[in-house]
Structure 1
Amino acid sequence: MWRSLASNFLTLAIVILVAAGGVVAWGQRQFTQPGPLAQAICLRVDQGASLRRVSDDLEAQGAITSGYVFRVGADYTDRANQLKFGSYLIAPHASMTEIVDVITKGGQSTCGTEINYRIGVLVAEVLVRELDPETNRYVEVAKFDPATTAAPEAYVDIAETADVRFRVTLAEGATSWQVVEALKRAEFLQGELGAVPAEGTLAPDSYEVTRGTGRQTVLDEMARRQAATLAELWANRVDGLPYDTPEEALVMASLIEKETGVPTERRRVASVFVNRLRQGMRLQTDPAVIYGITNGQGPLGRGLRQSELRRETPFNTYVIDGLPPSPIANPGRESIAAALDPEQSDYLYFVADGTGGHAFGRTLAEHNQNVARWREIERQQGTQAVPQTVQPAEAPPAN
């Protein structure tokens, strides 16, 4: 009898083990196979949210088949306690393990309602937009310039909701004064600002913040990123550059940034300036002259006058030799990279070509032909202004 009982117990144990193994295998398949979600959704993970709350939300929206399996899988892979606050786009048919990866990896939010304060060269504006998960496209809700316009009702309603996220985006070429003035008008930030940072020391980039973040905190992070970028790129600079310090390279990068908005031109513009420095020619670049007039406190708003091109200031590169004493704006990473790895060319001049780019010249004769073409474009457009141009050192600037 005892032998029969032992045999039955062993049989039952084997059945239980096989069943348990089958459950585990089923759970693993559920956790790793494509999920049931037919259309993308935006999942909000609140600060302090529990894994159960998130799993219940996912199950309610049809993204997972079992909240229990989701939680067990997250715990088994040691990610149950790594939830990151934010709004995340969950793709159609994402598996449970892929969803866990998205909500625990963190980083910038990828969907939901966003208030983006964009600090540009000409204007700083608030853009309110919302991502449509089905199309993966942002829909604009409101846009306004806080310097000239009161916040619209749509902004006020959204800005106070708990799940909105905030972002400050700094464009390449804005000056430090413009950044400070814009941050003062960001109502979702708080705190006073100190002195205007040195020109060129703020990184054009996108910064995700929360309501109540300190203005100085944002400014400090901009400075930290720019210093890191400059140090990284300076360490990998090419040999033989006509400037000896990272600070001088930053000055060059700012000139490049202000001279061209065409990414593919940056290294070529850099080569013109480098070639002129090597030959002892004055840089004669209009944006530097403008900075000497405005001190970076907004755009000039008109063409340069002949008297201004001849006036002696530390930034008038028609008068001074070499680089200006400081950057004239905050250059982006690509302009810094161009300053430290310019194109190999024998160009000495460039002038606007009417397409948004520039025509480059090796000789004074080539340059004069390019200027004549630009003048014809101006005539056809009915305008007349000093072109954005690098002039020959031995000739007066065109007017």
Structure 2
Amino acid sequence: MKRGLVVAAAVVVLAIAGVAGWFASGWYGGSQVAKDTAFVVPDGASLSSTAAKLEDEGLIGSSEAFLLRAKILGSGDPIKAGEFLVPAGANSATILDTLQHGQVLRRMVTVPEGLPSIMVHERLMAEPLLTGTVAVPAEGSVLPDSYDFERGETRQAVLDRMQKAMRDFLAAEWPKRDSNLPVATVNEALSLAAIVEKETGVPSERRMVAGLYTNRLRIGMRLQADPTIIYPITKGKPLGRRIKRSEIMAVNGYNTYSMAGLPTGPITNPGRESILAVLHPAPTKALYMVADGSGGHAFADTLDQHNANVAKWRKIRRERGEIP
């Protein structure tokens, strides 16, 4: 009799252990996730609705079984809204932990230095994971950088961060500017920085270019910056052809060939280094510059020096077959 009871008890224990093992293996073992998969938890979603969504998307086998095991074996912490990356091979325990404690998956949108606002707008509108519409931002109001965002976030929210970054940067750097600059306001500094941004692609030249234009502004000499001719025509996009004589002579609020002083406003969104170059220009007497054939510029203090540099540049171009 006693032996029979012992055997029966052992059978019960084994059965319970087997059920417990099966129950636990459905939580900690096995996986429906064949590859890394992005999963979105909507705002206000409950664990029940999320489990149903996990089942619909093939990440778990049964929402009912998931919920039962989550109640007994999982954490009681709430799940978070957002997009999460569920790794390949993730079991149910890993999936719940990811939704409760994992980092929300964030995407990136990049604004390169010197990207005009019309193209910032195009870039935001072309991002399919953002929502809503947004107007073309004011030129010079966006700080070039890479900005992260969540799937489903509004384009306006991302643009707001871009513009706040510019305001914060200017608020920090404008008070540190050199004394006796010919730019009296932040908008004037941005306008000059945008020209510097467009006039050189060589980072080490930025302060020198800023110094040259600072000198011109001080003496009332026209800036004669080609990008200011192009801006009213294309809003900062590449012109795709040579500038026409009529465009050089055009009178408007931007063309620095037909007027002295700064343009009405920025012609692009300048980056941090171009802004800093304008706030701290190189100490130089240079008034002229021309391409030097290596991607940079040759600078000159006098017109005679400049004409000699121009002759060298033309010789290089002839040798390259670019001009007769």
Same fold (TM over 0.5): yes
Aligned to 2:190: 250
Other structure's SS at 1:209 match: strand
Please give the alpha-carbon distance, in whole angstroms, between the structure 2 residues aligned to 1:353 and 1:265: 12
CA contact (8 A) 2:223 2:260 kept: yes
Shift of 1:164: 6.4
Q: Distance in 2 between matches of 1:299 and 1:208?
A: 27
Task: Give, as a single letter, the amino acid of the residue that structure 2 aligns with 1:279.
Answer: I
Pair 1:186-2:127 in alignment: yes
Query: 1:231·1:246 contact (CA, 8 Å) conserved in 2?
Result: no
Aligned length: 234
Question: Structure 2 regions of 5+ residues with no counterpart?
Answer: 1-35, 42-82, 86-100
Q: Does 1:294 align with 2:294?
A: no
| Equivalent residues of 1:271, 1:345 under 8 A apart | yes
TM-score, length-scaled by structure 2: 0.67
In the alignment, structure 1 residue 377 sits paired with structure 2 residue 316: yes
CA offsets 1:219-264 (integer angstroms, 9 cap, x no match): 1111000111111110100100001111110101101100011111
1:313/1:261 Cα in 2 relative to 1: closer, same or farther (>3 Å)?
same
Aligned to 2:305: 366
Matched, 1:329 2:256: no
| Deviation for aligned residue 1:185 | 1.2
What is the one-letter code of the residue matched to 1:259?
Answer: E
What is the Cα deviation at residue 200 of structure 1? 0.4
Identical counterparts, % of pairs: 50
Partners of 1:251 and 1:235 lie apart in 2 by 17
1:230 aligns with 2:161: no
CA deviation digits over 1:319-354, x for unaligned, max 9? 111000000000001111011000000000111111
1:27 corresponding residue in structure 2: none
Tell me by how many angstroms 1:317 deviates. Answer: 0.5
Mean alpha-carbon deviation: is it higher for 171-180 or for 181-190? Answer: 181-190
Equivalent position to 2:180, from 224, 240, 243: 240
Please give the alpha-carbon distance, in whole angstroms, between the structure 1 residues aligned to 2:313 and 2:264: 31
Q: Which has the higher helix share?
A: 2
CA separation of 1:189/1:47 partners in 2, compared to 1, >3 Å: closer, same or farther?
Answer: closer
Query: For residues 219 and 349 of structure 1, what CA distance do their matches in structure 2 show?
Result: 37
After TM superposition, list the pairs within 5 Å mapping 1:319-358 onto structure 2: 319-358=258-297
List per-residue Cα deviations over 1:153-194 (Å, max 9, x = no partner): xxxxxxxxxx9642101101111111112211111111111x
Match of 2:153, SS? Answer: coil
Aligned partner of 1:279 in structure 2 is 219
- CA shift for structure 1 position 369: 1.1
Q: Distance in 2 between matches of 1:383 and 1:356?
A: 15
Map 1:95-110 to 2 at 5 A.
Answer: none
Q: 5+ residue gaps in structure 1?
A: 1-42, 49-84, 88-103, 110-162, 386-399
Whether 1:196 aligns to 2:136 is yes
After superposition, the Cα gap between the structure-2 partners of 1:379 and 1:188, relative to the gap in structure 1 and judged at 3 Å, is same
Q: 1:64-213 counterparts in 2 under 5 A?
A: 165-193=106-134, 195-213=135-153
Work out whether residues 84 and 105 of structure 2, in 8 Å CA contact, stay in contact via their aligned partners in 1: no
Secondary structure of the residue aligned to 1:167 is strand
Query: Could you tell me which residue of structure 2 aligns to residue 309 of structure 1?
Result: 248
- Secondary structure of the structure 2 residue equivalent to 1:225: helix
Partner Cα separation in structure 2 for residue 210 and residue 251 of structure 1: 32
**Secondary structure at the counterpart of residue 216 of structure 1:** helix
| Alignment-mate amino acid for residue 174 of structure 1 | L
Aligned residue identity for 1:328: I
CA distance in 1, matches of 2:232, 2:148: 33
Give me the whole-angstrom Cα distance separating, in 1, the residues matched to 2:117 and 2:286. Answer: 31
TM-aligned CA deviation for residue 380 of structure 1: 2.1
